[in-house]
């Protein structure tokens, strides 16, 4: 993994936090959900005049892994005759769900109960490490406050729990069963935290900013109201700055702070009482993410890029490889019996590591992390789903739900995908997190190139003519992109109200969902002319074109999928009461995690559940 790629990933969180600045004010909130859904026609709408596009044929060999010239366009697709709409649909779960929405920080309380946090899920969970049972102990809260958002968790000796709100820049504490209390604001990218405890002294709380900043702070626990650490009037200053990304840290038995420097591949120790004096303990890591001590004074380190758990002797820096798992390890905790547990954000997993044998026991694990947008490729008689899984790029067999992982965050070139499209040659992944569009070879699952410089892109497609179109949330625009490194960008349409997803239709048009306005609009690719196909929807997100010529749209505000006649705008409800529409955070994008819709040539409709972390399959009845 190149240093440049690591730096690019560091900018991901910056775009998250500044989402409000990138999103037009009129697009930040979808329309309020009405008390009752608008009326829809019970009868099936007539077939459209124009047929949909079929899949293009595969081209020759894909480009190399390095940034390469844009490959030649695929041959124009052959148009198929629309089939009759199904009479109804049967809803089934194709891929079962899981707890968490990416799992990060974890800690044991004084009773040896394990608590884990999820940034995207904006919740804190208690996990029974023997049974794998999970319950939510801190929820997101109302009005996008994201109270439960926890990138890291720490416990004081009296049981007080503290945690960091990475995207909000807040720190909360909770004593016993009391309500969470906000104690710090103005700390963008606040990531790791730990209590320093000394005999006969009050515990002190320290926390670090990573990615959105690079600083170590001591947090005031005695103030009677929240302190804004970004406000000069607070007179608060960091203990250290520009360290290199001090991530999951812990205080050792000698009273020194030990932690990993994400961007420097080091583990260091810091004396917080002597001006932050910093000394290297061990080096040679790829991306060290977190450390913790056992009762014998051994220091354990997780390397997220290599998926390794390493034991370090603090006095000498001697390293011993204990276990190798899959990349994407995020944090670790050690219980009162010196048992080591680690989290993996890619697999929504908690594992117990046997430090003698290197074996791993699964406490809990999911098949998907956070399924966002989805797309389907018809490979002969098989329908293969391509999933933007936020921490991974995965495919799913539409017949049996078998999941295959191709790219993993931290271990591979990947930038938190949320949007996706696919054709015979490639999948296009988009990330409003990192402002990127990534080309991935469909057959091999390997990254071809990553294009940067977009303003919160939410979807991208390669048209039947071979043009790259990118949908930008940050500008509310549809772009035609050409040239090396996506330098040449032409605006086809602008002033879109929180555009979220698109699909190409016949006759050189695309259909776009506008989450904020509740519309589906048609855009002529050549002229930019637009017309409204359907309006009055509540938070429409994912969209696809079915073999019957209708548009299938996830209407997230009503937790349902509707089929829309492209000519008349008439719509029919085909599935209801779906677990879709994960709440976002204040000033974030309207579609925090896109609810994806994909329609196979069989007429089966696939829907991603961002709440359940599952994939639905709606089977047509004819």
pLDDT of residue 141: 77
pLDDT of residue 26: 41
Q: What is the pLDDT of residues 342-370, one digit of tens each?
A: 999 999 999 999 999 999 999 999 999 99
- Do 3-84+371-602 and 106-364 come out as alike in CATH topology? yes
**pLDDT band with cut points at 50, 70 and 90 for residue 586:** confident
Residue 115 clears pLDDT 90, i.e. is over it = yes
pLDDT of residue 32: 40
Strands (E), 487-596: 488-493, 499-505, 509-514, 519-524, 530-534, 540-545, 551-555, 560-564, 571-575
Tokens of 68: 């390469």
Strand-pair category, 123-127 with 114-118: antiparallel
Q: What DSSP letter does each residue of 345-378 carry, written as one string?
A: TTTTEEEEE-TTT--EEEEE--S-S----EEEEE
What is the distance between the alpha carbons of residues 105 and 292, in angstroms, rounded to a whole number?
12
CA distances from 56 to 73, 85, 331 (A): 10, 23, 44
pLDDT of residue 68: 43
What is the distance between the alpha carbons of residues 127 and 124, in angstroms, rounded to a whole number?
10
- Chain-wide mean pLDDT for the chain? 88
**pLDDT band with cut points at 50, 70 and 90 for residue 73:** low
- Among residues 401, 454, 402, which one has the least CA distance to residue 431? 454
pLDDT of residue 219: 98
What is the distance between the alpha carbons of residues 98 and 85, in angstroms, rounded to a whole number?
33
Q: What is the pLDDT of residues 236-265, one digit of tens each?
A: 999 999 999 999 999 999 999 999 999 999
Residue 385 clears pLDDT 50, i.e. is over it = yes
Q: What pTM was estimated for this model as a whole?
A: 0.87
Q: How far apart are the first and last CA of the chain?
A: 50
When pLDDT is averaged across residues 61-77 and rounded to a whole number, the result is 43
User: Which residues fall within 8 angstroms of residue 492, CB to CB, at 6 or more apart?
Assistant: 469, 477, 478, 479, 480, 523, 525, 528
What is the distance between the alpha carbons of residues 571 and 594, in angstroms, rounded to a whole number?
21
When pLDDT is averaged across residues 546-575 and rounded to a whole number, the result is 97
**pLDDT band with cut points at 50, 70 and 90 for residue 156:** very high
CB atoms within 10 A of CB 311: 17
When pLDDT is averaged across residues 489-514 and rounded to a whole number, the result is 97
pLDDT of residue 80: 62
Residue 126 clears pLDDT 50, i.e. is over it = yes
pLDDT of residue 143: 67
Phi then psi dihedrals of residue 85, to 5 deg: -65, 145
Which fold would CATH assign to domain 106-364?
Answer: Neuraminidase (2.120.10)
CB atoms within 10 A of CB 488: 11
Tokens of 553: 């749209």
Domain edges within the chain: 3-84+371-602, 106-364
When pLDDT is averaged across residues 448-476 and rounded to a whole number, the result is 96
When pLDDT is averaged across residues 444-466 and rounded to a whole number, the result is 96
Please check whether residue 184 is in contact with residue 171, taking contact to mean a CB–CB distance below 8 angstroms. yes
* CATH 2.120.10.30 corresponds to the domain 3-84+371-602: yes
Strands (E), 220-313: 227-228, 240-241, 250-251, 257-261, 266-271, 277-282, 288-293, 299-303, 308-312
Please check whether residue 503 is in contact with residue 461, taking contact to mean a CB–CB distance below 8 angstroms. yes
Residue 76 clears pLDDT 70, i.e. is over it = no
When pLDDT is averaged across residues 18-31 and rounded to a whole number, the result is 42
Cα atoms found within 13 Å of the Cα of residue 302, Cβ hemisphere only: 30
pLDDT of residue 487: 80
- SS3 helix, strand, coil % of the chain, rounded to 5? 5, 40, 55
What is the distance between the alpha carbons of residues 236 and 475, in angstroms, rounded to a whole number?
36
């Amino acid at each position: 993994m190149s240093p440049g790629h690591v730096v690019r990933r560091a900018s991901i969180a910056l775009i998250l936090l500044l989402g409000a600045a990138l999103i037009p004010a009129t697009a930040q909130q979808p329309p309020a959900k009405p008390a009752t859904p608008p009326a829809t026609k019970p009868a099936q709408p007539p077939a459209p005049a124009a047929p949909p596009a079929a899949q293009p044929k595969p081209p020759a060999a894909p480009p190399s892994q390095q940034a390469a010239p844009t490959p030649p366009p695929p041959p124009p697709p052959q148009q198929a005759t629309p089939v009759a709409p199904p009479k109804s649909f049967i809803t089934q779960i194709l891929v079962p769900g899981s707890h968490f929405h990416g799992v990060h920080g974890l800690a044991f309380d004084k009773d040896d109960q394990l608590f884990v946090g999820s940034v995207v899920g904006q919740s804190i969970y208690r996990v029974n490490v023997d049974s794998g049972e999970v319950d939510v102990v801190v929820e997101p809260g109302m009005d996008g406050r994201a109270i439960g958002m926890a990138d890291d968790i720490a416990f004081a000796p009296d049981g007080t729990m503290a945690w960091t709100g990475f995207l909000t820049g807040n720190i909360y504490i909770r004593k016993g069963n009391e309500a969470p209390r906000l104690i710090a604001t103005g700390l963008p990218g606040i990531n790791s935290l730990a209590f320093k405890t000394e005999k006969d002294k009050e515990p002190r709380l320290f926390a670090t900013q990573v990615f959105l900043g690079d600083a170590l702070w001591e947090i005031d626990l005695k103030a009677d109201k929240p302190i804004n650490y970004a406000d000069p009037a607070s007179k608060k200053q960091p203990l250290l700055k520009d360290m290199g990304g001090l991530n999951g840290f812990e205080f050792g038995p000698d009273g020194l702070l030990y932690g990993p420097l994400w961007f420097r591949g080091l583990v260091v120790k810091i004396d917080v009482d002597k001006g932050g004096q910093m000394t290297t303990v061990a080096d040679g890591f790829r991306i060290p993410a977190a450390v913790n001590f056992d009762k014998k004074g051994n220091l354990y380190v997780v390397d997220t890029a290599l998926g390794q758990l390493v034991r370090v002797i603090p006095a000498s820096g001697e390293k011993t490889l204990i276990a190798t798992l899959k990349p994407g390890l995020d944090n670790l905790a050690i219980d009162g019996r010196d048992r080591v547990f680690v989290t993996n954000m890619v697999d929504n997993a908690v594992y117990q590591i046997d430090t003698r044998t290197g074996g791993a026991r699964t406490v809990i694990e999911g098949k998907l992390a956070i399924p966002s947008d989805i797309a389907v490729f018809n490979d002969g008689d098989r329908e293969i789903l391509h999933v933007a899984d936020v921490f991974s790029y995965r495919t799913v067999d539409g017949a049996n739900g078998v999941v295959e992982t191709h790219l993993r965050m931290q271990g591979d070139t990947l930038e938190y995908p949320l949007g996706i499209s696919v054709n015979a040659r490639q999948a296009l992944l988009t990330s409003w997190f990192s402002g990127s569009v990534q080309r991935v070879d469909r057959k091999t699952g390997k990254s071809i190139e990553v294009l940067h410089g977009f303003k919160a892109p939410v979807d991208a497609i390669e048209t039947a003519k071979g043009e790259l179109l990118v949908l930008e949330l940050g500008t509310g625009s549809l772009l035609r992109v050409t040239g090396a490194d996506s330098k040449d960008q032409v605006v086809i349409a602008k002033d879109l109200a929180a555009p979220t997803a698109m699909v190409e239709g016949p006759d050189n048009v695309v259909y776009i969902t506008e989450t904020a306005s509740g519309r589906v609009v048609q855009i002529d690719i050549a002229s930019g002319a637009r017309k409204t196909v359907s309006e009055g929807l509540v938070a429409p997100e994912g969209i696809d074109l079915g073999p019957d010529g209708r548009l299938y749209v996830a209407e997230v505000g009503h937790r349902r999928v509707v089929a829309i006649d492209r000519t008349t705008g008439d719509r029919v409800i085909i599935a209801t009461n779906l677990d879709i529409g994960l709440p976002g955070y204040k000033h974030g994008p309207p579609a925090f995690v896109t609810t994806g819709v994909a329609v196979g040539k069989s007429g089966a409709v696939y829907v991603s559940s961002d709440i359940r972390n599952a994939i639905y399959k709606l089977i047509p009845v004819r």
